Structure 1
Amino acid sequence: MLFLERWHPYDSATLEVTELFSKAILLQMFVYGDLTVIGLYGETIEVPCNNGAAKPEDLIFTKWKYKMDDGTSGDLLVKQAHKEKAQIQAMDGYKDRVTIAANSSLMIQGGSLVDQRTFTCMVVYGSNLDEHPVDVLVHTAFGLICYVVFCLFQLGVCTAADANPAAVIMWSKNGKLLVADGKTIIITPSVKMDPSTGLSTTTSGLQYTAVKSDVGAKFTCTAKHSLETQVSAPETFIIHYPTEKLSLQVLAKAPIREGDNVTLKCNADGNPPPTSFYFSIKGQKVTVKDSDTFTLTAVTRNSTGDYKCSLVDDDKMEASEKVVVSYLDLSLSPTGKVLKMVRDTLLVKMEQDASGDAKVSWTKDNRKLDEMPRFDNVTYADAGFYVCEVSVAGIKRSQSFQLVVEGTPVIKKMTEHHSEDGRHKVLTCEAEGVPRPSVQWSVNGTNEENSYINGKATHKITVVPTGNLTITCIATNKLGNHFMTSVFAGALFDMLFLFVGAQDDSSDQALLIVFIVVGLIIAAALVGLFYWLYIMKSRRGTWKTGEKEAGTSEESKKLEECKAKV
């Protein structure tokens, strides 16, 4: 069985009465042909003559009288048709309270319950006399006073004070009318009249047996009267009931990471809620008084597990919740600055330990890599800044290393080509090496150009062709040096290039001329060789031992030279 408690009165014992009618307006109704007028307590009551009908043209006078408490008739006033003022005839309490209006209505000032009687308007006109009785009722507005009492039996008391007729009080829960059943709902009404004023005060008491579902229910009392209806402000009750269910709440920002503080909150559905709890922390029971929370500080991965809370007076009623602490360890080898010589081997090793499936990513100089880098034979292109990032459940770890690749200079090639005007040679020397190698030539040149990209140095100079050139390029850095020598084309080819460069024909025509000239030179050389071989063969065929050929002295001399060569 549930119960209610504590005294909780309304903000004001008396509610302000709402004015529903203008002071100058009367409520009227007909009952079996007689006119009944309802006047307001304390206000001027207007009693109409002949239900407000127009006065006869031959009116002589109008007279108002009333029925006294002993049943006899008493005069109030007389108004002659040709006179402006009425003659007051009353000698009792009405002497100073009654007047007559222009429409012959009787005006009674300061209406009270003593005015609840019959008033008669007598109209004399021509040779006729008519009487028009009017019954007057006096009603009062009321002050609604609801005392809501929280106790074992009495739930509330509602009072409608100083009303006429007496107000009727009803009780409601969540807008639904409560009906007394004599058991769980008991309503006790009472009405008391003030003998001095004749006004009535209605009081209604409510006894209510609450259940758990009444938590938050709004109770009101309503006072009904012929003039108005007033409803009290709603009240919700504090209902006590025992705890039936516990729940454990983990108060921490997800995901929980190592080093975070985690608060456990034990929620009980009883009212009032318990003030002390047991918290089971990794199998150890801890008592917490005057609080429903327990805080785990700087949790670690070992803090992962099931936690429980229970009632101190009933440890069998408990609630549990799992706490999962996320963690991530990352180990990368090597780290920092790593110096390697070109063609060396570098082993990269990454290990990670995480509370879940970890996501691994690699970047080189902020560009994403598809996989972990491998360096079986380090090249200059491998140099860069490498970052390994691992993430799991809101945790990120990253480590990095800077790979620097060095090597002695190696000249890869030497080339030449003619300048755009065809009058100079441009010599190019390409060398690889870290640190950046310096390049020197065995000849002097002009218009030097230098570049160094990804360990590759390129050096260009412009020279004037002076025949066959044997040129050496030397590349040097702090680790050593390297040189390369090359022989470049002589004057004949230079003249050809000069000739071609002076033409205005297309490049195809210039190339054709070069091929023709070279072909002619080769053909002439072959003809000379064949001719020489032919002479040598013919001479050998005519030689005779110990004999001397006839011929000129010049021919003999040439023959001796040929023999000497043979």
Structure 2
Amino acid sequence: MGLPRLVCAFLFAACCCCRHATGVPGEEKHPAPTPDLVEAEVGSTALLKCGPSRSSGNFSQVEWFLIHKERQILIFRVHQGKGQSEPGEYEHRLSLHDSGATLALSQVTPHDERTFLCKSKRPRLQDHYVALQVFKAPEEPTIQANVVGIHVDREELREVATCVGRNGYPIPQVTWYKNGRPLQEEENRVHIQSSQIVESSGLYTLSSVLSARVVKEDKDAQFYCELNYRLPSGNHMKESKEVTVPVFYPAEKVWVEVEPVGLLKEGDHVKIRCLTDGNPQPHFTIHKKNPSTGEMEEESTDENGLLSLEPAQKHHSGLYQCQSLDLETIITLTSDPLELLVNYVSDVRVNPTAPEVQEGDNLTLTCEAESNQDLEFEWLRDKTGQLVGKGPALHLNNLRREAGGRYLCVASVPRVPGLNRTQPVSVGIIGFPWMAVKERKVWVLENAVLNLFCEASGHPLPNISWNVNGSATEWSPDPQTVVSTLTVLVTPELLETGAQCTATNSVGSNTTIIVLQLVTLTTLTPDSSQTTGLSTPTVSPHTRANGTSTEKKLPQSESKGVVIVAVIVCTLVLAVLGAALYFFYKKGKLPCGRSGKQEITLPPTRKGEFVVEVKSDKLPEEMALLQGSNGDKRAPGDQGEKYIDLRH
């Protein structure tokens, strides 16, 4: 009896399974409802609503499921209005929102693009499906051009550039552009091949390669790619930067270029280079026509085939020609000849070359030069740059000594700016020497080293001699002037005699007298017959008997002596005034201060005396201007000092 029962049970179970599989005749099958669509960007929070948007109320008992491979996986429960996540991948990212009617999924990733099921028991509602769709904008696309280059004579398609868009979701669409116009697939002309990689984050990295056949006109073409993608906010796009691709093609012609452009002149830095309409530039050689033989001779160039004329000279003028050799096609091309013209001015000559005339005579100077252009002539004085004439001839009439010296003939080409040459000439006015000054006065310090100057001019150039011993040096600022410097020691003998320089040439001689005056201070003593005897300080010059003239402008050393003397005089005058006031004070002529018994306090033994201190053994610069001007006080017993006692 046991076995028949077991067989019957098995047959019944099999019958039920067959019925469930094939369906019961007349039973209607309901299709799965269409899920609601929710869009969210990666990293944001997605809100999954349990029911239609218009549904409301308190959802007190709800279960949320994840539909995965036709299986329902419980991920979240709502009981009595409180939510509880189930263990798993969503355990820490789910929370309730809006009274339990909405489930919030935080930190959305591409892996969350799934379908979710909501089953509400209180209130009891029909099962509700929600499909989550995830988006992520890709990064800025990067583009890498073919740096090797493409030959136009290659028939097969060659890679032009590669475009990469990283970390987008879903996969973006790529579009290629050339010069702003989109490229489409074209057999044997354009091919676009794209591929994608799924990163561990679930995002996509897109790589697209553009291959094409290029032509010569593509040498400057700009290529770039564009990524098109969608976000919940709408459609968007990102573009890469533009790139160019080296395109190689053979040359069809060659020519010569010269820098700088325009009229050239001697001294310019000129460069001659060869160019072709091919890419890359082939190997060049530059040839110049020999004016003697008429043959083209190769010039020396650098490694780039550049001929530099630095500086350019007139012999660089002539015909130049370029030759190019394409190592790819072994084709030689020759340019048309180019005539290079270097403008010049040379061999400027003045006649007579060394003119000498007597004072009062007339003189004509003529200037000549060579040039490939029309010339203009100007005459200038060398020292002042003053324009004294125009044209090839300069007429000088009734010449005076002042007209002697250097003149400049300037030959220039007006149509070529900066092209000129200059030739100097010295005009000699024959006569005895001129002296810069006839007599000069110099303030000196005894035992000091002194430089004496003497300047003379004339033609012929004079020689200068001195009547005193010393170290003399000479130099000539121009062809008709000489300056002599004599270094001497100021001795009593030199102070007594002074100095004299004599300039001599073949016509005559002339002299300059230098008067030396010593800067000293005279010791002043009061006159015993007078109650206030203070004499005025004087500077005692040791001069020559005939030294009467003075200069308008003193040298720096003389100016210092004069200033020191003036300050000393002022100081002594103030001392006299002070002594006088003191005298009247003692006599009771001045009532001020009597009531308070105030008076100037002096040492007991010297009371009633006024002392003026003068250091006579120091240089004027070291005297400190009698020490009274800066407030310093010295003891009366200091050695090397003299005193003038102004007694009451």
- CA distance in 1: counterparts of 2:218 and 2:109, whole angstroms: 46
- CA distance in 2: counterparts of 1:141 and 1:182, whole angstroms: 32
- CA distance in 2: counterparts of 1:379 and 1:192, whole angstroms: 103
Structure 1 residue 96 displacement after superposition? 5.8
For 1:260-299, list aligned pairs within 5 A. Answer: 262-280=270-288, 282=290, 283-286=296-299, 288=301, 290-296=303-309, 299=312
Structure 1 residue 359 displacement after superposition? 0.9
- Of 378-387 and 296-305, deviating more is 378-387
Q: Does 1:338 align with 2:335?
A: no
| Amino acid in the other structure paired with 1:286 | E
**1:336-378 Cα shifts (integer Å, max 9, x gaps):** 4512365x67554433322211112245794534663457xx6
For 1:406-555, list aligned pairs within 5 A. Answer: none
| Amino acid in the other structure paired with 2:348 | L
For 1:21-100, list aligned pairs within 5 A. Answer: 35-41=36-42, 44-50=45-51, 55-56=56-57, 59=58, 61-66=60-65, 68-69=67-68, 71=70, 75-81=74-80, 83=81, 85-88=82-85, 94=90, 98-100=94-96
Distance of aligned partners of 1:396 and 1:37 in 2 relative to their CA distance in 1, 3 Å threshold: same
- CA distance in 2: counterparts of 1:36 and 1:302, whole angstroms: 88
Q: Unmatched 5+ residue regions in structure 2?
A: 1-32, 151-157, 291-295, 326-330, 433-458, 460-506, 509-648
Q: Does 1:388 align with 2:409?
A: yes
1:243 alignment counterpart: 251
Distance of aligned partners of 1:36 and 1:176 in 2 relative to their CA distance in 1, 3 Å threshold: same
Distance of aligned partners of 1:170 and 1:384 in 2 relative to their CA distance in 1, 3 Å threshold: same
Instruction: Give the alignment partner of residue 117 of structure 1, picking from 115, 140, 148.
Output: 115
Q: Secondary structure at the match of 1:226?
A: strand
Q: Is the 8 A contact 1:261 1:298 kept in 2?
A: yes
**1:89-127 Cα shifts (integer Å, max 9, x gaps):** x576555654323443213356443641143363735xx
Q: Secondary structure at the match of 2:315?
A: helix
Q: Secondary structure at the match of 1:236?
A: coil
Q: Does 1:188 align with 2:193?
A: yes
**1:224-262 Cα shifts (integer Å, max 9, x gaps):** 222354433332212222234434333469865546664
| Amino acid in the other structure paired with 1:119 | L
1:438 alignment counterpart: none
1:518 alignment counterpart: none
For 1:106-145, list aligned pairs within 5 A. Answer: 106-108=103-105, 111-113=109-111, 115-120=113-118, 122=120, 124-125=122-123, 129=125, 132-142=128-138
- CA distance in 2: counterparts of 1:295 and 1:140, whole angstroms: 60
Structure 1 residue 206 displacement after superposition? 1.1
2:172 alignment counterpart: 167
For 1:256-405, list aligned pairs within 5 A. Answer: 256-258=264-266, 262-280=270-288, 282=290, 283-286=296-299, 288=301, 290-296=303-309, 299-312=312-325, 313-318=331-336, 320-340=338-358, 342=360, 346=363, 348-362=365-379, 366=386, 368-369=388-389, 372-374=393-395, 379=398, 384-385=403-404, 387-392=408-413, 393=416, 394-402=419-427, 404=429
Structure 1 residue 142 displacement after superposition? 4.5
- CA distance in 2: counterparts of 1:374 and 1:280, whole angstroms: 46
| Amino acid in the other structure paired with 2:367 | M
| Amino acid in the other structure paired with 1:391 | S
1:205 alignment counterpart: 209
Structure 1 or 2, whichever has the larger Rg, is 1
- CA distance in 2: counterparts of 1:131 and 1:70, whole angstroms: 18
| Amino acid in the other structure paired with 1:187 | I
Q: Judging by fraction of residues, say which structure has more strand.
A: 1
Structure 1 residue 281 displacement after superposition? 5.1
| Amino acid in the other structure paired with 1:360 | F
Structure 1 residue 332 displacement after superposition? 1.6
**1:512-539 Cα shifts (integer Å, max 9, x gaps):** xxxxxxxxxxxxxxxxxxxxxxxxxxxx
For 1:550-565, list aligned pairs within 5 A. Answer: none
Structure with higher RCO (Cα < 8 A, 6+ apart): 1
Distance of aligned partners of 1:373 and 1:200 in 2 relative to their CA distance in 1, 3 Å threshold: closer
Identity %: 19
Q: Is the 8 A contact 1:301 1:327 kept in 2?
A: no
Q: Is the 8 A contact 2:266 2:312 kept in 1?
A: yes
- CA distance in 2: counterparts of 1:173 and 1:167, whole angstroms: 20
- CA distance in 2: counterparts of 1:136 and 1:145, whole angstroms: 30
| Amino acid in the other structure paired with 2:284 | S
Aligned-residue CA RMSD in angstroms? 4.3
- CA distance in 2: counterparts of 1:260 and 1:357, whole angstroms: 20
- CA distance in 2: counterparts of 1:382 and 1:111, whole angstroms: 105
Q: Is the 8 A contact 1:279 1:294 kept in 2?
A: no
- CA distance in 2: counterparts of 1:345 and 1:95, whole angstroms: 120
Q: Secondary structure at the match of 2:230?
A: coil
Distance of aligned partners of 1:318 and 1:48 in 2 relative to their CA distance in 1, 3 Å threshold: farther
2:163 alignment counterpart: 158
| Amino acid in the other structure paired with 1:213 | E
- CA distance in 1: counterparts of 2:303 and 2:400, whole angstroms: 68
- CA distance in 2: counterparts of 1:136 and 1:260, whole angstroms: 77
Q: Is the 8 A contact 1:380 1:405 kept in 2?
A: no
| Amino acid in the other structure paired with 1:107 | A
Q: Is the 8 A contact 1:116 1:138 kept in 2?
A: no
| Amino acid in the other structure paired with 1:307 | Y
Structure 1 residue 138 displacement after superposition? 3.1
TM-score by length of 2: 0.48
- CA distance in 2: counterparts of 1:49 and 1:191, whole angstroms: 36
Q: Secondary structure at the match of 2:60?
A: strand
Distance of aligned partners of 1:370 and 1:49 in 2 relative to their CA distance in 1, 3 Å threshold: same
| Amino acid in the other structure paired with 2:226 | T
- CA distance in 2: counterparts of 1:76 and 1:154, whole angstroms: 50
1:218 alignment counterpart: 222
- Of 221-230 and 62-71, deviating more is 62-71
| Amino acid in the other structure paired with 1:137 | Q
Q: Is the 8 A contact 2:59 2:99 kept in 1?
A: no
Distance of aligned partners of 1:155 and 1:256 in 2 relative to their CA distance in 1, 3 Å threshold: closer
Q: Unmatched 5+ residue regions in structure 1?
A: 1-31, 408-433, 435-477, 480-566
Structure 1 residue 61 displacement after superposition? 1.3
- CA distance in 2: counterparts of 1:168 and 1:278, whole angstroms: 54
- CA distance in 2: counterparts of 1:95 and 1:355, whole angstroms: 98
2:593 alignment counterpart: none
Distance of aligned partners of 1:273 and 1:380 in 2 relative to their CA distance in 1, 3 Å threshold: closer
| Amino acid in the other structure paired with 1:339 | V
| Amino acid in the other structure paired with 1:398 | Q
